[in-house]
Structure 1
Amino acid sequence: SFYMQCLGEEAIACAQQHALRSGDMHFPTYRQQGLLISAGYPLVTMIDQVLSNEADPLRGRQLPIMYSSKEYGFFSISGNLATQYIQAVGWAMASALRGGSEIASAWIGEGASAESDFHAALVFASTYQAPVILNIVNNHWAISTPEDFARGASATFADRGYGFSIPSIRVDGNDYLAAYAASQWAAERARSNLGPTLIEWVTLRRGAHSTSDDPSVYRPADEAERFPLGDPVERLHQHLAALDDGTGTWDDRCRQSMQAEIDAEVEAAFAEASSHGSVKDGHTGRAETMFDDVFVEMPRHLREQRDQVAKLEGR
């Protein structure tokens, strides 16, 4: 198993989730866990999926952290990141064609914006004025490749939207309030039939690309401390503290209390999910479930194979 953190990028996903509505659909990458957490998706279920245990709602069919929840407006994560863009634009076009008010939100990293799917999505979004938010999370690193490699001759990643006549802006992705305001503006444009908006979120991936990555071989150890936009969690804390009128609405004690409460919640969720086992100790879903959720009516030869698997497992 492995895991991919979103350290340093928390404000973007959490803020946009609160700016959108129920029924909207996000097409995320693997670093938008905040979309689910902010929507109240159960932490236990998220950890069950990471452990690929018998309670995994995806039945072990996805890589760890590649969540999926239609109910929470979270489209299945794809390892081929740029494909989310074209799927989001298609979903938004379908919503508009059926007269719905729901919008789509597409997510991509700055590195994957150099893939052809990104440009194909922008062609369709601009041509059909799809109600979609096109997010580019510029965290400065595409695994071990610096952001200027993918950006090429463009001054910014937001510039790429102008070639398709799509309104495009750059936003401080470490400012929660800015992320919320920009997301709300883009969502209102989409719902008002004004078409797509492209947003480049400037942030920094503070940690490794994944637990299988060693960033010390390609980036400075003090990069996060020198990053001029700071840390999004700390900046939100400072903002709330500045608003405190002395009544203790938000101060260091409030922050410490909330931190302790969250830590306890995460630990309890992990303990509960761990009680369901993990793929490492063999506590996985039944093998015959690999045949489920593929066909509306399962073909005869697959029913026979499923029954054979069940028989081999003693069921």
Structure 2
Amino acid sequence: APVILNIVNNQWAISSFMGIAGGLETTFASKAVGYGLPALRVDGNDFLAVWAATAWAEERARTNQGATVIEMVTYRGAPHSTSDDPSRYRPGDEHEKWPLGDPLERLKQHLIGLGEWSEDQHAAAEAEAAMEVRAAGKESEAIGTLGQSRPSVKTMFEDVYSTEDWRLVEQRREVGV
């Protein structure tokens, strides 16, 4: 199939290190070779590397050359979800030691170095983006869900598990529904 299969290797699943899935013995991209799929492994915090790898894979897909696997190596610094406490399974300052850095800051510094961007342009772009997100949020809240009025908070707990998990019971109790 002409598809792009992205593996976001953020080093951690919920509560488990990627090494559990064999990530220390070999790369996830190299596993694609065993299935006859071409694969790339890129620095997922480098916008230009991700863009180039995706453009190559997109060209393969558009010309019916089959599937392509791209492993994007990055880092998940925040919790996986509201029920995740990463301090239980990794050091609290681990994300600060991640060598690949913040992707937005890296791209910003690269463009500034080329003379194509500035701190002032960046601050203005951030302010504009924040304003657009707030406006879109307000617009979506006014519309509601599928044209209906705002749904009850209790609906976010429905149809999550076949039998209610203890974490869901606790979260439901915390919001009072």
TM-score scaled by length of structure 2 = 0.77
Residues 1:279 and 2:154 aligned together: no
TM superposition shift of 1:181: 0.4
Corresponding residue number in structure 1 for 2:174: none
Residues 1:141 and 2:12 aligned together: yes
Contact 1:132 1:196 in 2 (8 A): yes
Contact 1:168 1:198 in 2 (8 A): yes
Q: Equivalents in 2 of 1:143, 1:262: separation in Å?
A: 30
Over residues 115-150 of structure 1, what are the superposed CA-to-partner deviations in whole Å (9 max), with x where a residue is unaligned? xxxxxxxxxxxxxxx211121110111111100001
Residues 1:197 and 2:68 aligned together: yes
The letter for the 2-side match of 1:143 is I
Match of 2:127 among 260, 269, 291: 260
Match of 1:269 among 136, 140, 154: 136
Query: What is the aligned-residue RMSD (CA, Å)?
Result: 2.0
Instruction: Give 3-state SS (helix, strand or coil) of 1:158's partner.
Output: helix
Instruction: Give 3-state SS (helix, strand or coil) of 1:228's partner.
Output: coil
Q: How does 1:1-315 map to 2 (within 5 A)?
A: 130-151=1-22, 154-244=25-115, 249-275=116-142, 276=144, 278-280=150-152
Corresponding residue number in structure 2 for 1:15: none
Corresponding residue number in structure 2 for 1:95: none
Corresponding residue number in structure 1 for 2:170: none
Q: Equivalents in 1 of 2:82, 2:102: separation in Å?
A: 21
Structure 1: gaps spanning 5 or more residues: 1-129, 285-315
Question: CA 1:200–1:208 in 2, change beyond 3 Å: closer, same or farther?
Answer: same
Structure 2: gaps spanning 5 or more residues: 156-177
Over residues 124-180 of structure 1, what are the superposed CA-to-partner deviations in whole Å (9 max), with x where a residue is unaligned? xxxxxx211121110111111100001267411111111112111211111001101
Q: Equivalents in 2 of 1:193, 1:200: separation in Å?
A: 21
Instruction: Give 3-state SS (helix, strand or coil) of 1:213's partner.
Output: coil
Instruction: Give 3-state SS (helix, strand or coil) of 1:205's partner.
Output: coil
TM superposition shift of 1:226: 0.6
Q: How many residues in Structure 1 have an aligned counterpart in Structure 2?
A: 150
Runs of 4 or more above 4 Å deviation: none
Corresponding residue number in structure 1 for 2:158: none
Identity %: 53
